[in-house]
Amino acid sequence: MAKPYTPPFTLTPKIINLLALISEQVGRLSAFEEKTALKLRRINQIKTIQGSLAIEGNTLSEEQITAILAGKPVIAPPKDILEAKNAIAAYECFANWQPSNTKHLLNAHQILMQGLIDDAGNYRSGNVGVMKGSQVVHMAPQAERVPALMLQLLDWLKTTDQHPLIKSCVFHYEFEFIHPFSDGNGRMGRLWQTLILNQWQPILGQLPVESIINNHQDEYYQVINASNLVTDSAPFIEFMMQVILETLQDHGGRNTPQAPPQVTPQVEKLLLVLDRQSAPVDRISLQQALKLKDRKSFQGRYIKPALELGLIAMTLPDKPTSSLQRYILSEAGKELANRL
């Protein structure tokens, strides 16, 4: 029996560290997931669509895509408008697709590229290269090999026991290497990685990862090329996981729309005291401001829960018991304090 195909990748120390940081951040944000406003999800979907299309040269702004969603007329190139409408339709089909299903993959491409190319929903029949200006930076495998290569990749996706974060990044890279379609490979690869992440943690399907990739698109293509050169997707995995972490951190700071659940009166009082300060505050000063004498009670009822909810931060996180330790509000803490 032939040995099952496994894409070549190395789990570097950086990847392991990023995996731990992302998992921690996901756990923290999952507390907000059920209370995440529908409006915010739609805003992030718009950011995702705009970011993914912008990487491919689409000129539409977030405001224009919002107008398209609302059925309003938009003055822009017809091709750009059609790309946006297709992307909106594709992202709304997440619940219908399984990442390892070939028919679902082809259906997604058909929706995403309908009216833009003649062979939407079908693997390419000709050979293609990835261009950067007039230079060929990657020559994709021959067209006749594509169905078998994609079947191998989708089988691996279905059977691997790798963490969803890692397998989503590996799939994304391998998909771009195979370049299975005549056009739309970039947006399809990003769409499918988001689908894989969404099935692991739905909150990841709501985050505008595409926006940050768009802001770092030169590096996005550089790490694809770097992975090609070493026949190992580790550089690409590291980049994508860093992007996911940045997006989660950004979401956890500025975009959290609801007050965290079970915020106690003690935590609220602590936030209000810190909100009135112009500089980080030490423990003794905080206890005095709150008229508290018991250090153990203060740490357990005020500091610890506020830190766990990400509402405050330590100036010396690596030295939690240092006499030089000071406390400040996080962005989420500032927003909550403003609502109290």
Question: CA nearest 193: which of 217, 220, 166, 216?
Answer: 166
Distance separating alpha carbons of residues 250 and 47, to the nearest angstrom: 13
pLDDT of residue 69: 80
Taking the alpha carbons at both ends of the chain, their separation in whole angstroms is 65
187 is an annotated ligand-binding site residue = yes
Contact 149, 5 (CB under 8 A): no
Q: What is the mean pLDDT of the chain?
A: 84
185 marked as part of a ligand binding site: yes
State the maximum Cα–Cα separation within the chain, in Å, rounded to a whole number.
76
In whole angstroms, give the CA distance from residue 125 to residue 251. Answer: 41
How many angstroms separate the CA atoms of 28 and 334, rounded? 17
- 223 is annotated as contributing to ligand binding: no
Domain residue ranges in the chain = 13-253, 265-339
Residue 229: Cβ within 10 Å count: 9
Give the up-direction half-sphere exposure of residue 57: CA atoms within 13 A in the CB hemisphere: 3
For 131-174, write each residue's pLDDT tens digit: 666 666 667 899 999 999 999 999 999 999 999 999 999 999 99
pLDDT in tens, 3-19: 778 899 999 999 999 99
27 annotated among ligand-binding-site residues: no
Residue 270 near residue 277, CB atoms below 8 Å: no
Q: What is the mean pLDDT of residues 240-249?
A: 87
* CATH topology match: 13-253 vs 265-339: no
Read off the pLDDT of residues 80-103 as tens digits, 9 standing for 90 and up. 989 889 988 888 888 899 999 999
Lowest-confidence segment of 1-5, 30-34, 179-183 by average pLDDT: 30-34
Does 130 appear as a known binding residue?
yes
Closest CA relative to residue 238, chosen from 172, 330, 329: 172
Q: 265-339 in CATH: which number?
A: 1.10.10.10
Q: Name 7's Cβ contacts closer than 8 Å, sequence gap at least 6.
A: 153, 156, 170, 173, 174, 233
d(CA 236, CA 239): 5
| CA–CA distance, 173 with 216 (Å, rounded to integer) | 16
138 is in an annotated binding site: yes
Give dist(CA 133, CA 141) in Å, integer. Answer: 21
pLDDT of residue 94: 84
Average pLDDT over residues 310-329: 87
CA 62 to chain centre: 18
What are the distances in angstroms from CA 261 to CA 23, 41, 267, 311? 20, 19, 12, 12
Cα distances from 23 to residues 171, 208, 329, in angstroms, run 19, 17, 23
Position 127 scores a pLDDT of: 83
Which of 1.10.3290.10, 1.10.10.10, 3.60.21.10, 1.10.8.350 would CATH assign to domain 13-253? Answer: 1.10.3290.10
Query: Is 136 annotated to bind ligand?
Result: yes
The torsion angles phi and psi of 274, rounded to 5 degrees, stand at -65, -30
pLDDT on residue 258: 44
Backbone φ and ψ of 250, nearest 5°: -65, -45
Is 218 annotated to bind ligand?
no
Q: Is 276 left (phi over 0), alpha (psi -120 to 50) or beta?
A: alpha
pLDDT given for residue 138 in this prediction: 67
Catalytic residue among 109, 179, 216, 251: 179
Q: Catalytic annotation on 172? A: no
| Residue 34 φ then ψ, to 5° | -65, -25
